[in-house]
Amino acid sequence: MNLLLREIRAKGLLSSSRIPDVAYCVNPYVGCEHACRYCYATFICKYTGHTEPWGRFLDVRVNAPELLVKELRRKKQGAVMVSSVTDPYQPREAHYKLTRRCLEALADAGWPVRVQTKSPLVMRDLDIFKHFKDLEVGITLTTDNDSVRRVMEPHAPPIEERLSALEGLTLAGIKTYAFVGPVLPMDPNRLARMLRGKTHEVVLDRMNYPWKVSWIYSRYGWEHALTDGYYENVVGAFSKILGGSAEIYNTSGEEERHELGRQTLF
Q: What is the pLDDT of residues 146-204, one digit of tens each?
A: 999 999 999 999 999 999 999 999 999 999 999 999 999 999 999 999 999 999 999 99
Predicted confidence at residue 43, as pLDDT, reads: 87
What predicted TM-score, i.e. pTM, was given to this entire model?
0.91
Percentage of the residues of the chain whose pLDDT score is greater than 90: 83
Query: Distances from the Cα of 44 to the Cαs of 3, 32, 71, 208, in angstroms?
Result: 17, 11, 22, 17
Phi, psi of 173 (to 5 degrees): 90, 10
User: If pLDDT is split at 50, 70 and 90, which confidence band does 59 have?
Assistant: very high
User: If pLDDT is split at 50, 70 and 90, which confidence band does 39 have?
Assistant: very high
Decide: 204 and 180 in contact? Cβ < 8 Å: yes
Domains parsed from the chain with CATH numbers: 4-264 (3.20.20.70)
Residues 82, 254, 204, CA angle at the centre, nearest 5°? 80
User: If pLDDT is split at 50, 70 and 90, which confidence band does 265 have?
Assistant: very low
